[in-house]
């Protein structure tokens, strides 16, 4: 039988390693000069060249990921922090994250399209290891963190996974390419979908809790 705690620990470690590689690439890009190579990035991240290639089959994919981080990280973090400081609900925190990403879409979406293409073309990763997305998952988990104590662990994980489908570059691309929606309507539609997902998770948790209450009442 697999140890769930061990699995979770490995996932978090992989996420930390991936984040360290991307952050190192972003720092090197911010310093100016020519785009950094794999060896330089590996040294800056304190990992091996082989480890870099385990997470990023091509340097182009890594540099695009780092570029998107430079474009979006501070704005999205600031939006979630601002929502947190005013005691916003989990839905409002998610909406703040979506709005921040929407505000950056005009600049960042072309990079997002390229990153999606490179991700699709990249070789399959090891089982259980995503090709990318640690930054978005981190934002989503921060936004809905107040619900962690209210939801069963598997339901919280499903909520995060479901929100990942309606938040970010892929969602904006679908709305633009398949629906012809631009700008504010993209943001409004993504928010509507996110609210629906959060409500579904809360309703399922309430349904799960009913038999427990009934058993205690006997």
Which range (3-17, 123-137, 151-165) has the least confidence?
A: 3-17
pLDDT, residue 87, reads: 93
For 83-142, write each residue's pLDDT tens digit.
999 999 999 999 999 999 999 988 888 888 888 888 888 777 777 777 777 889 999 999
pLDDT at 5: 56
Cα separation of 50 and 48, whole Å? 5
Residue range 10-26: mean pLDDT, rounded: 86
Q: Residue 7: its pLDDT value, please?
A: 57
The pLDDT score that the predictor gives to residue 3 is 55
Question: pLDDT, tens digit, for every residue of 31-53?
Answer: 878 889 999 999 999 999 999 99
pLDDT at 217 over 60: no
Give the pLDDT band of residue 146 (cuts 50, 70, 90): very high
Per-range mean pLDDT, top range of 9-18, 115-124, 183-192: 183-192
Whole-structure pTM value: 0.80
pLDDT, tens only, 190-215: 999 999 999 999 999 999 988 665 55
pLDDT of residue 128: 72
Q: Where are the domains of the chain?
A: 4-217
* Residues whose CB is less than 8 angstroms from the CB of residue 93 and which lie 6 or more positions away in sequence, other chains included: 80, 83, 84, 142, 143, 144, 146
| Closest to 102 measured CA to CA, from 176, 168, 180, 174 | 168
User: Which of 40, 19, 20, 18 minimizes the C-alpha distance to 31?
Assistant: 40
- The residue-averaged pLDDT of 130-155 equals 91
- The DSSP code sequence of 114-172 is HHHHHHHHSPP-STT--SS-HHHHHHHHHHTGGGTTTS-HHHHHHHHHHHHHHSSHHHH
Residue 1: per-residue pLDDT: 46
The class of domain 4-217 in CATH terms is mainly alpha
Report d(CA 79, CA 25) in Å as an integer. Answer: 24
């Amino acid at each position: 039988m697999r140890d769930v705690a061990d699995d979770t620990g490995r996932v978090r470690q992989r996420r930390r390693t991936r984040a360290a590689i991307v952050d190192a690439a972003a720092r090197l890009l911010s310093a100016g000069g020519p785009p950094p190579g794999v060896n330089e990035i590996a040294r800056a991240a304190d990992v091996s060249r082989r480890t870099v290639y385990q997470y990023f089959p091509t340097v182009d994919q890594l540099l695009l990921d780092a570029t998107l981080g430079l474009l979006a990280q501070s704005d999205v973090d600031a939006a979630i922090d601002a929502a947190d400081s005013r005691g916003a609900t989990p839905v409002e925190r998610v909406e703040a994250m979506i709005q921040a990403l929407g505000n950056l879409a005009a600049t960042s979406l072309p990079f997002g399209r390229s990153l999606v293409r490179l991700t699709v073309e990249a070789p399959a990763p090891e089982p259980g290891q995503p090709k990318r997305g640690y930054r978005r998952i981190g934002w989503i988990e921060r936004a809905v963190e107040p619900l962690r104590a209210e939801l069963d662990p598997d339901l919280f994980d499903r909520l995060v996974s479901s929100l990942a489908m309606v938040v970010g570059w892929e969602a904006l691309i679908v709305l633009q390419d398949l629906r012809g929606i631009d700008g504010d309507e993209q943001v409004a539609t993504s928010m509507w979908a996110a609210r629906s997902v959060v409500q579904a998770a809360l309703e399922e948790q309430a349904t799960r809790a009913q038999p427990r209450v009934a058993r205690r009442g006997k």
